[in-house]
């Protein structure tokens, strides 16, 4: 019996092993690199959380954009494969978003003296996280046609990002400006970009696992239908 869905998973399965090994090695090496990076002059030790905090946002926004773009592809082409990609990406985006939302206040408590501040980055991150938790809720409890509904949530959520950022930014701001990243001293920049790469690979690993699960679920459904 031929099920097309499984075939499309083959190339992904072949690269999965190497990527998994590289990711594991990078995460094993990351603590050494972070420990050896210079101390930031005003924040000291607590600034080290930055090496995991910012990359988790990079990974989250990758997930958000993948979900938004594949949501649009699903909506206009009706391709169930695109829906599986979008929903897998959205779920992982929520996971990385939670990581960012946990590490952020820990850092903020030490460097700003408060757990939470309504500044532009935090507000935007929180809202995008909420929108994508909404996405998952819709998929779980939305019932019939929730794939399309969630695709619209992803598209609208993605389009919303600049507006939330802009309005929260004018409203109030306290966060280190985004422009701090390109101007990092190289001794800090090296470990930082290393961590970004490690998080992106982790994203890819989780995403492939999740997509594989979704593909197998679809294949199983197809087999059930054939039996009946």
Residues lying near other proteins in the complex (CB under 8 A): 75-76, 78, 127, 130-131, 134, 137-138, 141-146, 148-149, 152-153, 155-157, 159-160, 163-164, 166-168, 170-171
Instruction: Provide the phi-psi class of 2: left if phi over 0, else alpha when psi is between -120 and 50, else beta.
Output: beta
Residue 47 or residue 83: which is nearer to other proteins going by CB? Answer: 83
Distance separating alpha carbons of residues 177 and 193, to the nearest angstrom: 18
Distance separating alpha carbons of residues 135 and 151, to the nearest angstrom: 8
**Min. distance of Cβ 92 from other proteins in angstroms?**
19
**Min. distance of Cβ 117 from other proteins in angstroms?**
15
Residue 19 or residue 69: which is nearer to other proteins going by CB? Answer: 69
Residue 116 or residue 156: which is nearer to other proteins going by CB? Answer: 156
Q: What is the DSSP code (8-state) at residue 42?
A: T
Which parts of the chain fold into alpha helices (H)? Answer: 4-8, 10-36, 50-77, 80-111, 120-141, 146-171, 186-227
Residue 141 or residue 224: which is nearer to other proteins going by CB? Answer: 141
**Min. distance of Cβ 173 from other proteins in angstroms?**
13
**Min. distance of Cβ 125 from other proteins in angstroms?**
12
Distance separating alpha carbons of residues 90 and 103, to the nearest angstrom: 20
């Amino acid at each position: 019996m031929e099920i097309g869905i499984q075939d499309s998973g083959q190339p992904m399965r072949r690269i999965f092993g190497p990527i998994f090994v590289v990711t594991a090695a990078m995460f094993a090496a990351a603590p050494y690199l972070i420990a050896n990076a210079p101390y930031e002059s005003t924040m000291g030790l607590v600034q080290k959380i930055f090496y995991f905090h910012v990359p988790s946002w990079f990974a989250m926004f990758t997930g958000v954009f993948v979900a938004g773009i594949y949501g649009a592809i699903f909506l206009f082409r009706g391709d169930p494969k695109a829906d599986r990609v979008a929903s897998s990406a959205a779920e992982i985006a929520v996971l990385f978003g939670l990581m960012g939302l946990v590490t952020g206040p820990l850092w903020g408590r030490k460097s700003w003296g408060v757990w939470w501040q309504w500044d532009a980055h935090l507000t935007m991150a929180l809202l995008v996280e909420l929108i994508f938790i909404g996405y998952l809720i819709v998929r779980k409890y939305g019932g019939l046609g929730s794939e399309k509904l969630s695709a619209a949530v992803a598209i609208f959520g993605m389009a919303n990002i600049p507006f939330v950022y802009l309005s929260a930014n004018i409203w109030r701001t306290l966060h280190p400006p985004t422009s701090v990243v390109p101007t990092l001293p190289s001794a800090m920049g090296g470990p930082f970009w290393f961590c970004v790469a490690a998080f992106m690979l982790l994203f890819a690993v989780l995403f492939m696992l999740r997509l594989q699960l979704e593909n197998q679920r679809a294949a199983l459904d197809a087999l059930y239908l054939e039996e009946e």
